[in-house]
Amino acid sequence: MAGISDPFADCGTPAKIKLLCLGTPDSYQDNLLHRTRSLHIEHVSPAKLMRSEISRGRDGSPVADKNTIAALRRWFFARKPDAGFVLTDFPATLLQAQVLDEWLDARDESLDGVAAAPDAPAPVRQHYRTLGLLLETVHAA
């Protein structure tokens, strides 16, 4: 699929947009994040929510994964119903993506799109591609 010129074209009310940014930000995601700053929606990252836990745990460990999911769960269910957000660095695993899907279902919400950098985990990219949410971009080789 060709690159997207306006990722917000079909997203409805800007204050309710729900986006994920997976992997290390590339130029597309940097542009996307810059554009979302003007929408006055919440920008969330596990690193911001749990700096102390990250410094104590190892990346990829079951305890770190459990702590990340717990911190994001508290944030997710504490936010106003149907409030928009841009979530970066989460989900980082297929399990986290499936957990996020369950949370969205529990609140009868859905994502508007998912931007994935080339280094985003392939199973997570494929999960959102299968759901039709991955905003495909053309990256130079």
- CATH no. for residue 35? 3.40.50.300
Q: Which pair of tokens denotes residue 33? A: 């994040």
Q: Which pair of tokens denotes residue 23? A: 């992997």
Q: Give the model's pLDDT for residue 77.
A: 94
Please check whether residue 84 lies inside any domain of the structure. Answer: yes
On the 0-12 / 13-18 / 19+ scale of CB atoms within 10 A, 106 is exposed
The total of structural domains in the chain comes to 1
Would you say residue 81 has pLDDT above 90? Answer: no
The model's pTM: 0.69
Please check whether residue 5 lies inside any domain of the structure. Answer: no
pLDDT one-digit tens code per residue, 25-60: 665 556 666 565 655 666 666 665 545 444 444 455
Q: Which pair of tokens denotes residue 4? A: 């997207």
Measure CA of the first residue to CA of the last residue in the chain; give whole Å. Answer: 16
